[in-house]
A and B are shown apart, each in its own frame.
Chain A
Amino acid sequence: MTTAWFLAQLTAEQRAEIENYTLHPSGWIVMILSIGFVVGLLTWCIRRVMRESQPEKLHGQIDVDTHDAEP
C-alpha cells in the first residue's frame, strides 16, 4: 500500500480540495492550546494522584511525636 495507491482512490475534485487545504497558523494555535491544556492538566493530575497514593513516607526522628512533653 503506497501513497500513490492511496491518492489514486480519490477523485480529482477531492484531490484538488485536499491539496489546496492545509493547517493554518490559527489552526496550529488552537490545536496546540487545546491539546496542550488537556494533556498538561491530565499529566499534572496523574502526577499528583501517584504522589499522594504512595505509601506513607517514613518519618524522620524530628517528626516523631513521643507525647512525652505533654503534662
Chain B
Amino acid sequence: MTELPRPRDSWGTRIGVILAVTGSAVGLGNFLRFPGLAAQYEGGVFMIPYFIALLVLGLPLAWAEWAMGRYGGSRGFNSAPGIYRVLCRTRLAPYIAFPCLLVPVGIFMFYVLIEAWCLGYAWFYLTGMMSELGEQARNGMENGLLKEDVYTSFFVKFIGMAEDGASFNLSRTSALPFLAICFALNFVTIYRGLNRGIEKFCLWAMPALILCAILVLIRVLTLPNIDAGLGFMWNMRTEGESFTRQLLNGKMWLEATGQVFFTLSVGLGVIITYASYLRRDDDIALSSLTSVAGNEFCEVVLGGMIIIPAAFLFFGFGVTERVGSSFGLGFITLPIVFEQMPLGYMAGFLFFILLFLAAATSTLSMLQPAIALLEEGLGVNRKASVTILGFVTLVGALFVLYFSKDATALATFDFWVGIFFIYVIAMIQTVIFGWVLGVDKGMAELDRGAEIRVPRFIGFVLKYVAPLYLLAVFVFWIYTEIRKPEEQNTLLMTLRNPVGLMSVGFLALLAVFFLLIIAQASKRWQQLGAVSDAEVRA
C-alpha cells in the first residue's frame, strides 16, 4: 500500500470529533438568523417547513458527506480533491473539488472579521464602554435623538462602514486589534494540529458556549411578561384560511430550507475533510446524527428562546422590522435590549462571548480543508502549510477590512462563497453520492461500523429527492436575487460597483491559486502511485 509521504493527523476522541463538527456548524446563524426568520414567518408556522427540510434534506446530506469523507480517508486522502479522485475515478474530479477549498477559505476571510466584532463587543461590555454608550443614548434621547441612532453610529464606526479604510486605525473603538487576536488564536490552534489544536479547543469552547447561552437564557426567562415574548416567537399567529396561505408561502419554505442547509455546514467542504480523519471502521451514522442534534439544540432551544422573546418585550410588534438583517439584530437591536434589562450588561457580555466562541469554532474548521490539500498535495509539513494559508487569508481578511464602505466586499464574498458555491458543492456531492459512488455502495459505507441503522429510504432521498430539492431551491434563490430592487441586488452590485468587481476578481484569483495546487497535487499523486493504489482498494 502506497501512503503519501506526510504526517497523518487524526482525531483523539469520539466526543472530540462530534464537538468539532458541531462547533463548525454552530455559528451566528443559530443565534441571530434562525430566530429572525422564525419571527418574520409567523413564529410557529415556520417550524413546519424547517423540520421537514431538516429531515428530508439536512440530515441525509450530512450523512452522505460523512460517508464520502471517511471513504476517501480510508483510501489515504484527506483533501476534497483527493477524495473526489477516489470517488469518481477520473483525472478531472479533483478540479471539480476546487469550491471545497474556495468556500471555506473565502468564508474565513470575512467570518474572522465578524468573529473580531463579537470579541470587540464582549470587550466593550467588560470594560464598561457599552455602559457609557447607554448613558450617551439616554442623554441623546433628551435631545431628541433615537437610541437606535447612537447604537447604529457606534456600530458603523466600529466596522468602518462610512468609508473605505476607516477600520485601519488604532483608536479605542477600532476592530483591528480584535482581528489580530482572532487571527492569532485561529492560526496557533490550527498549527497545533487536529487533535491537540482543533479538538482540544472545541472540547472546552463548546461547553463554555452552551454555559454562556444557558446563563443568558435564565436571565431572559426570568424577565417579567416573558410569556408574551415566547408567544411572539412560538405562537401560530394566523388561523384558518390565512394559516393555510402562510403554510403555502413558497418563500418561507425556501428560507427554511436555506437555513437548515447553512446551519448544518453541509456543502462547505469541512465535514468531508473532518470525516476523512476517522478510522475505517469508526461509526459515522450516530456521530453525524449527534452533531446534527447538537447543532439543532443550539439553534432551536437556545437560539429560539433568547433573542426574539427578549427583543419583543422592548419593541413589541415593531421587532419584526428589525429582524431582516442579522447584523442589525445582533449589534444594534440587542445592545438596546441589554441596556434596558436588569443585569443586562452582564448578559450582553455573556451573549457576545457566546457569539465569539460560536464564530471561533467555525473559523477553525474552515482552515483544515486547505491545510489538508497543501500537506498531501505539495508534501509540505504543517508549519509550511499553515504559513502559506496564513499569508493568503491575511491578505483576504485585510482586503475585506479595508473595503468596508457599506460592507460591499463582505456582502460580495458572502454572496459568492457563502451562498452560491455552497449550493454548487452540495449539488455536486449529492450527485457523486447518489449516482457516481452509487447508493448501494454509499449506504454500505454509512453502515460500516455504524451504531445505528440508517433507514433505507435515505438512499432514495439522496439519489432522487435531495438533488431535485436542492436544484429547485437554488433556481428559486437565483430568481429572487435577480428580481430584487437595484439597491439590494448583490448580483448587480458585483457587476457595477468597483469594489464588488474587485472582490469577485479576488475570489477568482483564489480559485486559480487552488486549481494550480490541485494540478500539482494530481501530478504528485500520480507519480507516487497513490491514486492507482486507492483505486485498487476502492
Chain A residues with CB under 8 Å of chain B are: 1-3, 5-7, 9-10, 13-14, 17-19, 21-24, 26-31, 34-35, 37-39, 41-42, 45-46, 48-49, 52-53
Contact = CB atoms under 8 A, between A and B. Distances in A.
B136 interface: no
B22 to A, nearest CB: 10
B435 interface: no
Given A21-B231, A52-B283, A52-B286, A42 B236 contact: no
A48 B452 contact: yes
Given A48-B451, A49-B18, A49-B286, A31 B294 contact: no
Nearest to B299: A38
Given A22-B228, A42-B290, A49-B286, 18 more contacts: A6-B340, A14-B316, A17-B316, A18-B225, A18-B228, A18-B229, A21-B228, A23-B230, A29-B44, A30-B43, A34-B300, A35-B300, A35-B305, A38-B293, A38-B296, A38-B300, A49-B18, A49-B287
Interface string B447-487: 00001100000000000000000000000000000000000
Contacts of B340: 6, 9
A27 B481 CA distance: 33
Contacts of A30: 43-44, 47, 234-236
A39 B297 contact: yes
A17 B313 CA distance: 9
B196 to A, nearest CB: 20
Contacts of A10: 313-314
Contacts of A2: 342
11 contacts: A6-B341, A14-B316, A17-B316, A21-B228, A27-B231, A30-B47, A31-B44, A42-B290, A48-B451, A49-B290, A53-B13
Contacts of B341: 6
Interface in B341-378: 341-343
Interface of B: 13-15, 18, 43-44, 47, 51, 223-225, 227-236, 283, 286-287, 289-290, 293-294, 296-297, 300-301, 304-305, 312-317, 340-343, 451-452
A18 B286 CA distance: 43
A22 B297 contact: no
Nearest to B305: A35
Contacts of A5: 342
Contact of A45 (B293, B301, B316): B293
A11 B296 CA distance: 36
Contact of B297 (A3, A18, A31, A42): A42
Nearest to B239: A26
3 closest A-B pairs by CB: A1-B342, A30-B44, A27-B235
A23 B304 contact: no
B63 to A, nearest CB: 14
A32 B258 CA distance: 24
Nearest to A25: B235
Given A5-B342, A38-B301, A19 B225 contact: yes
A interface secondary structure, majority: helix
A26 B236 contact: yes
B378 to A, nearest CB: 36
Contact of A18 (B235, B293, B312, B342): B312
B392 to A, nearest CB: 36
Nearest to A49: B290
Nearest to A16: B316
A60 B75 CA distance: 37
A38 B47 CA distance: 12
Contact of B316 (A1, A13, A49): A13
A21 B293 contact: no
Nearest to A13: B316
A48 B290 CA distance: 9
Contact of B289 (A3, A23, A38, A45): A45
Given A19-B228, A34-B304, A53-B14, A45 B236 contact: no
A28 B234 CA distance: 7
Given A14-B316, A48-B286, A42 B293 contact: yes
B186 to A, nearest CB: 28
A9 to B, nearest CB: 5
A35 B38 CA distance: 14
Nearest to A33: B47
B301 A39 contact: yes
Nearest to A20: B228
Contacts of B234: 23, 27-28, 30-31, 34
Contacts of B223: 6
Contacts of B301: 35, 38-39
Given A27-B43, A42-B296, A49-B15, A6 B224 contact: yes
Contacts of B235: 23-24, 26-27, 30
Contacts of B15: 49, 53
A37 B225 CA distance: 26
A6 B225 CA distance: 11
A1 B340 CA distance: 11
A27 B234 CA distance: 5
B25 to A, nearest CB: 13
Contacts of B14: 49, 53
A30 B296 CA distance: 15
Given A27-B44, A49-B14, A37 B290 contact: no
